[in-house]
Amino acid sequence: MKLSKHQTFEDYPYEDLLDYAGIDAIVTLDILKKLWPKLNAKDQYLKFKNASESYYVTPPSMAWELKNIKAEALKFIVDMEVVGMPYDVRGNQRMGSLMQAEIALLTDTIKSQVGNINLDSGKELGDLLFGRMGLKPPMQTKSGDDATSGEALEMLFEENPELLWLGDIQKRKNMASVYRSFIETYVEKFVKRDGCIHPEYNLHGTSSHRISSDNPNLLNLPRSCYQYDIRSLYVVPEGMVFLTMDFSSCEVKILAALSRDETMIKAIREGLDFHTFTASMISGIPYDEILAVLDFTKEQLADPVNKALYKKYKEMRQNAKATTFGILYGSSINGLAMKLGITTDEAEKLVEQYFGVYPRIKDFVASSHAMAKANHYVFTPFGQRKQQFATLPCYKGMAVANAALRNAQNVLIQSTASTLGLMAFTEVNKRIKALGGRVMCTVRTVGGTKTTLIAGTSDRVMSKTISR
């Protein structure tokens, strides 16, 4: 059974829907009966030789997780799909017309300066930039070609700010991409008769157990494209307001909890800027001094000495931040070196300095690697398992195996964060509904890992606090 454009299940006879959906339910139930004994089995945690202590208690069974976390989470996911996100169709049309006009104007301006080329052709654009103009390619594609992506154009313009037409090319490319991806397609493809977009949420759409979204993907919406605010097209009914909730530094705090590193836990509990604190501990420069310099005003930065000190401390903080997230996401030493623009020896020294500040983080990494080697999978405190096939003897190549081991520590953190998010969102959904609101969407911010819960609730109940 296939739904045509703007059709819903309400357009089909109940009997047809019963046969269509009922077979899936019957087969799923039969499978569940077969698998339930295995799902109820518990993993036994092993204490490994290269770990100073065992970091995990015996996790609950997968059956416990399915019943108490996943089944409950499905309720608010179904709510989100049914409620949908109201979409401003007329606003979409107005924004689209303005964007089209500006794209056309940019096209004419660019061609008047560089000649009549197809600006949507990567080849012709590459010939212009790296052939005729002799610019140095800032990066390559996976296939080894000179990149002409929005990111590459941004890097080129930063290196050549005098080439105003290059800035126009970058702006046009970004605007055209957003227009095609969102403005041009959303109304026709996704907006239903109720004026809402009803995305399909997937509870197991990612390897880390994070919720994913299809048709459309609402988890990667751009905040804005120059003066065009794409997210402003998502609206709430009259008399309602948006309420957003988010975790603060969730994955860093999970790393602290799983590793039980006392220094990291103390910094978080005291509400310090964690990355500044890390930079302070590595460098030996007082925390308050670094913080004060990073808070310099424009007037203070006019002094060359202050500006140089600000640049130095900002770089130190950025290096500390990159190291933390490199460990979180299982980055290699080479990967960290490339990200920071330093040598592998410098990157290795930075990581060792980091482990000197947070020694139990090093133990956590060793323990997660040992778990993957011993079992060929890792499991989270909530009982989730992630296979690490590359550690099996049949796999050859140290690079592949090492990548799998680094991924083991990443999975432990990201999967735990995802589960905590599901548990929090489930509870919040109950409280929002009690206040007369509805959960509408979860959004993952661009370029980051934050997950935001969006709900529409009456402005009359906003004064009521949703306590922990």
Q: Is the pTM of this model over 0.85?
A: no
Residue bearing the bigger pLDDT, 433 or 174: 174
Q: How far apart are CA 163 and CA 172, in angstroms?
A: 15
Question: Hunting for tokens 């703007």 — which residue is that?
Answer: 6
Angstrom distance (rounded) from CA 30 to CA 35: 9
> Looking at residues 190-213, what average pLDDT do you find?
81
Mean residue pLDDT across the chain: 80
Structure tokens, 361: 């983080």
Q: Is 336 left (phi over 0), alpha (psi -120 to 50) or beta?
A: alpha
In 235-338, DSSP assigns E strands to 240-246
For the domain 257-415, what is the CATH superfamily, name and number?
5' to 3' exonuclease, C-terminal subdomain (1.10.150.20)
Token pair of 317, please? Answer: 């903080």
Handedness of CA 88, 93, 97, 99 (dihedral sign): positive
Q: Where are the domains of the chain?
A: 1-39, 89-190, 257-415
- The sign of the dihedral angle between the CA atoms of 252, 258, 259, 265 is positive
Among residues 282, 256, 283, 251, which one has the least CA distance to residue 267? Answer: 256
Q: Is the pLDDT of residue 449 over 70?
A: no
Spatial separation of the C-alpha atoms in residues 411 and 433, rounded to whole Å = 32
User: Residue 119 above 60 pLDDT?
Assistant: yes
Cα 205 to Cα 386: distance, rounded to the nearest angstrom = 14
Residue 443's pLDDT is 61
What fold is seen in the domain 89-190? Taq DNA Polymerase; Chain T, domain 4 (1.20.1060)
- Residue 458 has what pLDDT? 45
pLDDT digits (tens, 9 = 90+) for 135-192: 888 888 877 788 888 888 888 888 888 888 988 999 999 999 999 988 888 888 899 8
Do 257-415 and 89-190 have the same topology in CATH?
A: no
Band of pLDDT at residue 8, cut at 50, 70 and 90 = low
How confident is the model over 106-119, as a mean pLDDT?
A: 91
Q: Greater confidence, 72 or 99?
A: 99
Coil, helix or strand for 401? helix
Report pLDDT for 450: 45
| Residues ≥6 apart with Cβ < 8 Å to 136 | 130, 159
The predicted pLDDT at position 451 comes to: 47
Nearest alpha carbon to residue 330 among 250, 413, 258: 413
